[in-house]
């Protein structure tokens, strides 16, 4: 199951984008502001909202470390912010002055792209804040952008429906019509697909558009064999324009948001797991948290909904127990604390932090260690809840937990 655990209603106008870091959620809006929330309890940070833009903020994204947030606006600027104190680090003006619709960090944090309404795309040096390269598409506004997980190329999507692929030197590698009525969003799965026979890695790309479709593409790029983009499939489930799409961190789920106020969660880009219908207007943005069980959806109804997947649903979405275990092993101590809070176990956060319980330690907990090492009462609600969750986390240890 997936349940709605929190609704944020601080923006005064349409929510255009939301993004997660490991500890924060960022949202931006037509109301010209960016807001930052803690994932512990979804309270707004003291230095939020972030204010500089003079017109609507269309997109926001975290650097991979989460220490920097980028935002872009109709005012023609892309701004970098220090997420710890809200300080503005840089204001980067689109050379043409055109409204900036999308921005995205490279996986190594060295570069940032900004795409504008006039079709120009700029690759910025994210350390010096200087323009590195600039290009443009033939037709339409740039409204979508995604870097490949290895950072060797990135893809832009235009309002005319074209997917354009660029290498890290801003050379155009490929362009083709993907959606007849215009692209609205695109996203790469961070998990590559391997071809052991050829020794190659491929990436899955999702794109969505005004044609009411979500499409899956297989992308490969090597300096020897060159670039290849192959259409794989179209996902059924939408009957209205699709405005947003995002892969989960492990690539096992894909969420998309449409104009009928619904967000659809797909399993392995095939089967529909859930249809979320709590928004009252168009779902404009959606994002999965990294290494946690949270999903955020934003809407023209001015709200952001926070959803939590239970581990049993997550387990169904994974093909093997090893993948589930690997997912949990990647959790930091902060991720474990966030997970505890989401399970109404806030009272245990201090104990777990004191004992430095990260994902690997969580998987190693036993009935005995809960009582002996963590001193959690043998008959408490907290102890029973933890035992039940760990049973789901590690199904092969059921007997050990409940013997």
Q: What tens digit of pLDDT does each residue of 180-218 get?
A: 999 999 999 998 877 655 557 789 999 999 999 999 999
**Per-residue pLDDT at 35:** 98
Q: Which helix (H) or strand (E) holds 362?
A: helix 359-363
- Bridge partners of 214? 208, 235
**Per-residue pLDDT at 210:** 95
327-343 residue pLDDT tens = 567 778 887 887 777 66
Buried b / exposed e along 16-40 (16+ C-beta atoms within 10 A): bbbbbbbbbbbbbbbbbbbbbbebb
How far is it, in rounded angstroms, from Cα 194 to Cα 70?
A: 32
Cis peptide before 49 (omega within 30 of 0): yes
The domains found in the chain, sorted by start residue, are 2-309 (2.130.10.10), 317-393 (1.10.150.50)
Residue ranges for the chain with pLDDT beneath 50:
319-324, 379, 392, 395-403
**Per-residue pLDDT at 398:** 37
DSSP string, 152-216: SEEEEEETTSEEEEEETT--EEEEEE--TT-EEEEEE-SS-EEETTTTEEEEEEEEEETTS-EEE
**Per-residue pLDDT at 251:** 87
How far is it, in rounded angstroms, from Cα 222 to Cα 205?
A: 17
How far is it, in rounded angstroms, from Cα 356 to Cα 365?
A: 12
pTM of the model: 0.79
**Per-residue pLDDT at 385:** 63
Total residues belonging to the chain: 403
- What tokens appear for 181 in the block? 């009525």
Inter-residue contact 115 to 123 (CB < 8 Å): no
130-147 residue pLDDT tens = 999 999 998 999 999 999
């Amino acid at each position: 199951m997936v349940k709605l655990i929190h609704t944020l209603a601080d923006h005064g106008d349409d929510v255009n984008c939301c993004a997660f870091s490991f500890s924060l959620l960022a949202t931006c809006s037509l109301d010209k502001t960016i807001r930052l929330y803690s994932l512990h309890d979804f309270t707004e940070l003291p230095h939020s909202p972030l204010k500089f833009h003079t017109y609507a903020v269309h997109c926001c994204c975290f650097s991979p470390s989460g220490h920097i947030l980028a935002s872009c606006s109709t005012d023609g600027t892309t701004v970098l912010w220090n997420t710890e104190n809200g300080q503005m680090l840089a204001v980067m003006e689109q050379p043409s002055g055109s409204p900036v619709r999308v921005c995205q960090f490279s996986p190594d944090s060295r570069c940032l792209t900004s795409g504008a309404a006039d079709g120009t795309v700029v690759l910025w040096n994210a350390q010096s804040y200087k323009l590195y390269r600039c290009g443009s598409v033939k037709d339409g506004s740039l409204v979508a952008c995604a870097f490949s997980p290895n950072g060797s190329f990135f893809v832009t999507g235009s309002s005319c429906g074209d997917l354009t692929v660029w290498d890290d030197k801003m050379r155009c590698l490929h362009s083709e019509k993907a959606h007849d009525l215009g692209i609205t969003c695109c996203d790469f799965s961070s998990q590559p697909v391997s071809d052991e026979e050829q020794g190659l890695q491929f990436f899955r790309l999702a794109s969505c558009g005004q044609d009411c479709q979500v499409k899956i593409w297989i992308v490969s790029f090597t300096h020897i064999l060159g670039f290849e983009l192959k259409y794989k499939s179209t996902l059924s489930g939408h009957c209205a324009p699709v405005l947003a799409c995002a892969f989960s961190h492990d690539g096992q789920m894909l969420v998309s948001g449409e104009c009928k106020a619904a967000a659809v969660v797909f399993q392995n880009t095939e089967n529909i797991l859930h249809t979320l219908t709590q928004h009252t207007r168009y779902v404009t943005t959606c994002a999965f948290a990294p290494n946690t069980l949270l999903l955020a959806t934003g809407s023209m109804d001015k709200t952001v909904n926070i959803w939590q997947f239970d581990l049993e649903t997550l387990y169904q979405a994974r093909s093997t127990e090893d993948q589930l275990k690997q997912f949990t092993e990647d959790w930091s101590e902060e991720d474990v604390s966030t997970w505890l809070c989401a399970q109404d176990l806030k009272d245990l956060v201090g104990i777990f932090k004191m004992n430095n319980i990260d994902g690997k330690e969580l998987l190693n907990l036993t009935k005995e260690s809960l009582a002996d090492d963590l001193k959690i009462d043998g008959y408490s609600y907290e102890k029973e809840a933890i035992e039940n969750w760990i049973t789901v986390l590690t199904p092969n240890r059921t007997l050990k937990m409940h013997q």
